[in-house]
Structure 1
Amino acid sequence: MLAYQMANKEHLAPWEPIRDSDFYTAESCRRRCESAYQAFIDGTAVSFIALERKSNKMIAGCNFSNIVRGPLQACYLGYSVHQEFEGQGLMHEVAQAAIQYAFGELGLHRIMANHLPSNLRSQKLLGRLGFEREGYARAYLKIAGKWEDMVLNSLINSEG
């Protein structure tokens, strides 16, 4: 995971919060993995990684965070793909499998995913996955050091 983050540091910077130098250390990576595992145990998040078959290296990540039960039964989708694998349909394949898990195994009703208005790759990916635009939020997230607007999208589980 650390090698993935290091290799994609510049590539992902426009779409993520500013990361301090500690983020790119083995110890910080270990802590994030422990935190992700605990969130999975607690039922508040699920993380997936995609590995390249021949090298066994991480090439994409997908997660469901802020899982809320009760009458909402919803979560947020996040994802990233290694810059060398962009535009090959990999993220669609990974996200599609993860969504099946969220709706099937987790029994969630709603998945929300937001993207920067300028992120046309995310817009196209979410559209291909069946997400529908629900709105527009001004100054929603601090990305790359600046409060950014976001396009709000959701996917509803038609089975439940």
Structure 2
Amino acid sequence: MLAYQMANKEHLAPWEPIRDSDFYTAESCRRRCESAYQAFIDGTAVSFIALERKSNKMIAGCNFTNIVRGPLQACYLGYSVHQEFEGQGLMHEVAQAAIQYAFGELGLHRIMANHLPSNLRSQKLLGRLGFEREGYARAYLKIAGKWEDMVLNSLINSEG
């Protein structure tokens, strides 16, 4: 995970919150992995990573966070792909498998995914995955140190 984050530090910076230097340490990665595991045990999040077969290095990540049960049965989707593998359909493959898990194993009804208006790659990926645009939120998330607008999208489980 640390190698993935270091290799993609600049690549992912325009789409993520500002990260302090501690974020890029082995100890910080260990704490985040422990936190992700605990969130999985608690039923509030699920995180996936994709590994390259020949090198076993991390090449993509996909997660479902803020899982809400009760009448909502929903979560948020987040993802990133290694810059070396961008544009090859890998993120589509990973996200598609993860969505099947969220709708099947987790029994969720709704997955929400938001993106910056300028992030055309995410817009295209979400469209290919079947997400529909639902709205536009002004000053929604602090990305790269600035409050940014976001395009709001969702995917509904047609079988549940």
Q: What TM bracket, shorter-length normalisation?
A: over 0.9
With normalisation by structure 2, the TM-score equals 1.00
Secondary structure of the residue that 2:118 maps to in structure 1? coil
Q: Distance in 1 between matches of 2:57 and 2:25?
A: 17
Q: Deviations over 1:40-67 (max 9, x none)?
A: 0000000000000100000000000000
Q: What does residue 42 of structure 1 align with?
A: 42
Take 1:31 and 1:77, find their aligned partners in 2: how far apart are those partners?
21
CA distance in 2, matches of 1:41, 1:7: 29
1:17 aligned counterpart, secondary structure: coil
How far did 1:79 drift?
0.1
How big is each residue's C-alpha offset from its partner over 1:3-38, in whole Å with a ceiling of 9 and x where there is no partner?
Answer: 000000000000000000000000000000000000
Measure how far apart 1:95 and its partner are.
Answer: 0.1
CA–CA separation in structure 2 for the residues paired with 1:78 and 1:51: 17
Deviation at 1:91, TM superposition (A): 0.1
Alpha-carbon distance in 2 for matches of 1:151, 1:73: 21
Mapped to 2, the partners of 1:86 and 1:10 lie a distance apart of: 14
Secondary structure (helix, strand or coil) at the match of 2:113 reads strand
RMSD value over aligned CA atoms? 0.2
Q: Which runs of 4+ in 1 moved over 3 A?
A: none
Deviation at 1:77, TM superposition (A): 0.1
Rounded Cα–Cα distance in structure 1 between residues aligned with 2:15 and 2:27: 23
d(CA) in 2 for partners of 1:28, 1:95: 25
**Secondary structure at the counterpart of residue 112 of structure 1:** strand
> Secondary structure, in 3 states, of the residue corresponding to 2:158?
coil
**Structure 1 unmatched ranges of 5 or more:** none
Q: 3-state DSSP class of the match of 2:32? A: helix
Q: CA deviation at 1:103?
A: 0.1
Name the CA distance, whole Å, in 2 between partners of 1:34 and 1:80.
20
Report the TM-score, using the length of structure 1 for normalisation: 1.00
Shift of 1:156: 0.1
Task: Give unpaired runs (5+ residues) of structure 2.
Answer: none
How far 1:102 sits from its partner (Å)?
A: 0.1
